[in-house]
Amino acid sequence: MNRLHSQADWISRARAVLPAGGFGNFDPGIVIARGDGARVQDEDGNDYVDYLIGSGPMLLGHGHPEVMEAVLEQLPHGMTFFANNARGIELAEEIVAAVPCADQLRYLSTGGEADMYALRLARAFTGRELVVKFEGGYHGMSAEAQMSLAPERRVNFPQPVPDSAGIPDSVAAAMRIAPFNDPDYIRDLLAAEGSQVAAIIVEPLQRIVPPAPGFLQVLRDEADRHGIVLIFDEVVTGFRLAYGGAQARYGVVPDLCTLGKVIGGGFPLAAIAGRADIMAHFDKEAVGADRWLMMMGTLSGNPVAAAAGLKTLEVLRRDGQYARLRDLGARVQALMSDALSARDIPHRIVGDETLFDVVFAADEVRDYRGTAAADKARAARFNAELRAHGVFKSPGKTYPCLALTEADLALTQAAADKAAAAIARDQ
Show which residues are catalytic.
138, 233, 261
Report the relative pairing of strands 348-352 and 355-359 from DSSP bridges: antiparallel
Distance CA 98, CA 412 (A): 33
Q: C-alpha angle 65/71/75, rounded to 5°?
A: 145
Measure the CA dihedral 379/112/312/60, to 10°. Answer: -10
H or E segment and range at residue 40: strand 39-42
Q: How far is CA 133 from CA 157, 161, 197, 392, in A?
A: 11, 12, 11, 31
CA dihedral of residues 132, 168, 18, 82 (deg, nearest 10)? 70
Contact of 63 with 36, CB cutoff 8 Å: yes
| Contact status, residue 355 vs residue 237, Cβ threshold 8 Å | yes
Strand-pair category, 47-50 with 39-42 = antiparallel
| Alpha-carbon torsion (407, 410, 414, 419), positive or negative | positive
Three-state DSSP string of 47-98: EEEECCHHHCCCCCCECCHHHHHHHHHHHHHCCCCCCCCHHHHHHHHHHHHH
Phi and psi of 271, rounded to 5°? -160, 155
Sheet of strand 270-274: strand arrangement:
104-108, 270-274, 256-259, 229-234, 197-202, 130-134, 175-178
Q: What is the DSSP letter of 205?
A: S
User: Could you tell me which residues are beta bridge partners of residue 197?
Assistant: 130
CA distance 303 to 309: 10
